[in-house]
Amino acid sequence: MQHKNFKNIDKVVFGRGSFSMLSDIIAPVRKENKNYFVFVIDAYFKGKELVKRIPALPEDLVLFEDVDAHEPTTQQIDALRNTILAQKGLPSGIVGIGGGSIMDIAKATALMLTNEGSSTQYQGLNLIKKPGVYHLGIPTISGTGAECSSTAVLTGPVKKLGLKCEWTVFNQVILDPELIASVPNDWWFHTGMDTYIHCIESENGTLNNAFSHAYAEQALSLCRDVFLNEQSGRSAQNDDKLMVASLMGGLSLSYSEVGVCHALSYGLSKILDYRHCYANCVAFQHLEDVYPQGVQEFKKMVAKHKIVLPQHLAEEWSEDILTKMAEVAYNLPHMWHQAFGEAWKEKVSLLYIKDLYKRL
Ligand code: NAD
Ligand code: ZN
């Protein structure tokens, strides 16, 4: 029997104002490679107060990335890597400041700085050949768990799949809940629900064990405080809780896996460009037969925060679109295995998945 021997984040700081520790944390790393740092920042922060607090030295590169146009792509990472190497050579490290998109951009770029060729050739498990440069993540929106996962999800010409290996995991994460206060309400909800759905899928799957259960149970309890219980809603205390829930939801998946909702979500993202967390919410509401209690509770949270999710989307989708999305989803065997066990093919077919999409 092989058990997972997973790689955790090397170091984690949690606390309000901990962003201020960034300068001291990266100082010793500056002696590596060409002695400069790259800061990759969500373009939302351009001109905002936070940028003034970034401890960039004159030799550092500060790059703003627009994450609204699309989710991170292989082409984008290749271009970023080429720009960095052409301008200044191999950096000491990369700091990513932003949401799941920027976390993945920072992780993928750190790897691609030392691995030749296009990132498309490394989409998959353990295909990366060499460790990347030091990378540090500072999440500014909570829910995806990208701050602790061993994958950097990229959309390529053929597949939406992560660069997944031990070296993908951040060397350091700074969790400062002050940074998520400005997240717009709909993103706060959709991205927060990614954690909730990670935990429901982790708990209700065949790979769940005491380790993943412990994290998922605690993350679910924090999610209920943030989105469901009497004190739910936007507050400093709930931002603290959501940031920890995101991390714990992610850690739950290090032993367990996501399931049916995420498989559908990947099809929606790859074929129709739906954003990951929004796509999850769109799909999850219709999976009451697979995750009965989870979906019921999810609907209460949707109602409580007056979130409007679209209905009757499938009426607009051709058979061709449905087939393409079903093919993307079918090709995620680890998710179906998690949901239905080793014999998942007895239940899951393209037809079954197309029928799930038709509910949306
Ligand atoms: P995001 O990074 O795509 O950002 C969502 C929006 O929130 C953007 O408009 C961004 O500018 C804005 N934003 C971020 N922080 C803000 C702040 N503090 N104030 C105001 N606006 C802010 O959001 P996300 O949902 O965290 O990430 C989604 C991405 O994460 C997808 O690309 C998905 O594939 C990826 N993902 C990765 C993993 C993993 O394990 N690597 C897991 C799940 C999802
Ligand atoms: Zn997710």
- Find out whether the beta carbon of 72 lies less than 6 Å from any atom of ligand 1: yes
- Find out whether the beta carbon of 100 lies less than 6 Å from any atom of ligand 1: yes
- Find out whether the beta carbon of 183 lies less than 6 Å from any atom of ligand 1: yes
Cβ(143)–Cβ(186) below 8 Å: no
Per-residue pLDDT of the chain (360 residues; tens, 9 = 90+): 678 899 999 999 999 999 999 999 999 999 999 999 999 999 999 999 999 999 999 999 999 999 998 889 999 999 999 999 999 999 999 999 999 999 999 999 999 999 999 999 999 999 999 999 999 999 999 999 999 999 999 999 888 889 999 999 999 999 999 999 999 999 999 999 999 999 999 999 999 999 999 999 999 999 999 999 999 999 999 999 999 999 999 999 989 999 999 999 999 999 999 999 999 999 999 999 999 999 999 999 999 999 999 999 999 999 999 999 999 999 999 999 999 999 999 999 999 999 999 999
Cα separation of 353 and 65, whole Å? 35
SS3 139: strand
Please enumerate in sequence order all residues whose Cβ is within 8 A of that of 165, keeping only pairs 6 or more positions apart, or say none: 111, 125, 126, 127, 128, 150
Expressed in angstroms, the distance from the first to the final Cα of the chain is 39
- Find out whether the beta carbon of 278 lies less than 6 Å from any atom of ligand 1: no
What is the whole-number distance in angstroms between the Cα of residue 341 and the centre of ligand 1? 31
- Find out whether the beta carbon of 251 lies less than 6 Å from any atom of ligand 1: no
Q: Are strands 151-155 and 160-164 parallel, antiparallel or unpaired?
A: antiparallel
The closest residue, in CA terms, to atom 20 on ligand 1 is 183
Q: Are strands 61-65 and 11-14 parallel, antiparallel or unpaired?
A: unpaired
Per-residue pLDDT, 106: 98
- Write the single-letter amino acid at 349: S
CATH for 11-180, options being 3.40.50.1970, 3.40.1350.10, 1.10.3720.10, 1.10.150.110: 3.40.50.1970
Mutate which of 256, 276, 282, 335 to test ligand 1's pocket (most atoms within 8 Å of Cβ)? 276
What is the whole-number distance in angstroms between the Cα of residue 91 and the centre of ligand 2? 30
What is the whole-number distance in angstroms between the Cα of residue 31 and the centre of ligand 1? 31
Per-residue pLDDT, 325: 97
Please give the number of the atom of ligand 1 that sits closest to the Cα of 143: 26
- Find out whether the beta carbon of 150 lies less than 6 Å from any atom of ligand 1: no
Superfamily for the 185-358 domain? Dehydroquinate synthase-like - alpha domain (1.20.1090.10)
- Write the single-letter amino acid at 6: F
- Find out whether the beta carbon of 145 lies less than 6 Å from any atom of ligand 1: yes
Per-residue pLDDT, 2: 79
Structural domain spans, the chain: 11-180, 185-358
- Find out whether the beta carbon of 19 lies less than 6 Å from any atom of ligand 1: no
Per-residue pLDDT, 347: 95
pLDDT, one tens digit per residue, over 202-220 is: 999 999 999 999 999 999 9
pLDDT, one tens digit per residue, over 292-336 is: 999 999 999 999 999 999 999 999 999 999 999 999 999 999 999
Token digits for 278? Answer: 């929004």
CA-based radius of gyration for the chain: 20
With CA atoms as reference, report the closest residue to 242 among 256, 261, 221, 257: 221
What is the whole-number distance in angstroms between the Cα of residue 165 and the centre of ligand 1? 21
- Find out whether the beta carbon of 140 lies less than 6 Å from any atom of ligand 1: yes
Ligand sitting nearest the alpha carbon of 168: 1
Our CA angle for 198, 128, 111, nearest 5°, is: 80
- Find out whether the beta carbon of 177 lies less than 6 Å from any atom of ligand 1: no
The closest residue, in CA terms, to atom 11 on ligand 1 is 44
Per-residue pLDDT, 47: 94
Per-residue pLDDT, 19: 98
- Find out whether the beta carbon of 71 lies less than 6 Å from any atom of ligand 1: yes
Ligand sitting nearest the alpha carbon of 146: 1
Cα separation of 251 and 314, whole Å? 34
What is the whole-number distance in angstroms between the Cα of residue 347 and the centre of ligand 1? 33
Which H or E element spans position 40?
strand 37-42
Per-residue pLDDT, 1: 65
Ligand sitting nearest the alpha carbon of 196: 2
Instruction: Give the residue ranges of DSSP H helices in the chain.
Output: 22-26, 49-52, 74-88, 100-112, 185-203, 210-227, 236-255, 260-272, 276-284, 292-304, 319-330, 333-340, 350-358
Ligand sitting nearest the alpha carbon of 258: 2
Token digits for 237? Answer: 């205390």
- Find out whether the beta carbon of 68 lies less than 6 Å from any atom of ligand 1: yes
Instruction: Tell me the backbone φ, ψ of residue 58, rounded to 5 degrees.
Output: -55, -30
